[in-house]
Amino acid sequence: MKVTLIQMDVAWAGDKKLRENVRKNHETAEKAMLAAEKSDLYVLPEMWNTGFVTTPENLFPEQGPTSVSPSSEGETGVGSETLTWMQRMADKLDAAVAGSVAVRLPDGSFRNRLFFVKPDTSPNPSPEAVGRESNCQPCEQSLSPRGKVWRGAFYDKHHLFTYGGEHLHYTPGEERVTMEWRGVRLRLCTCYDLRFPLWLRCRDDYDALICVASWPTVRMHAWRVLLQARAIENQCYVLGVNRVGDDPVCQYSGGTAFVNPYGEMTACPEGEASVLTKTIDMEHLRTFRGKFPVLKEAD
């Protein structure tokens, strides 16, 4: 399976230029995806449509329902606009599109939600394909009263970044999520989750780990080491997608990387917007796991 990782400079949308910059980020991502090599999966960074906003109340100033919860209808707001965009791009490219977005649920709580959106030409997954540890919704899901739908799965960030105050405004997710796509089982995680190996432990239930992030420059050494550690200990591919640029709090230098099960890393140039296209070789992975059965001997 061919994957493209999008390392982009995200325009800050946590201010008065909210909608203008959200749409600018849509345009930036679309340009990068269309210019990249044709792939089965395109992965965007954490909160790629707004920047890493720890006060999500600012993103939903309007009254009324603003959630992108699978069960709700009539959504408005930047989360809904972005999910509509992701579905459009998935359909246009006949590929899955993944990336995290701040959303507000009907109960007023906020989630840092990683969406995995599939093209509407793809069949809905069976419960077995989705996996037991999953909050995926294996069906078409209502996005608006006009009948628009999105297809795929979502993961709510479990380990909120307390150092940055994320836990004060967001509610953590409690479910591990695995999504099968074109023969590859993909575990979803977001940024700070990468530091917690027990949460991400492969129980022979996934083949590749997707980690979308807003990981600052000052901790880039940890980012690189943790990506490699998760690949080696879980005998899996790791797709780590980070942003570049600045926001009011941090500087980001990228480090977006594709790591193979041996821990060997191919990375985007640091400090500049770029894309990286690589191939997940399932035959190679199965052979490696069969010859060196680390996962079968895990504690």
Cβ atoms 46, 191 nearer than 8 A: yes
Q: Which of 62, 128, 174, 297 is catalytic?
A: 62
Is 157 noted as a catalytic residue in this protein?
yes
Q: CB–CB of 272/238 below 8 Å? A: no
How far from 226 is each of 65, 80, 179, 234, CA to CA, in Å?
38, 32, 22, 12
62 is known as an active-site residue: yes
Distance between CA 7 and CA 257 in Å, rounded?
Answer: 9
Rounded Cα distance, 224 and 237, in Å: 14
- Written as one letter, the residue type at 96 is A
Helix H or strand E segment including 275: strand 274-279
Catalytic residue among 46, 75, 136, 191: 191
CB-based contact 238:3 (threshold 8 Å): no
* 100 contacts 47 by C-beta, under 8 angstroms: yes
Specify whether 211 is catalytic.
Answer: no
Which of 118, 136, 157, 236 is catalytic? The answer is 157
Catalytic residues: 62, 157, 191
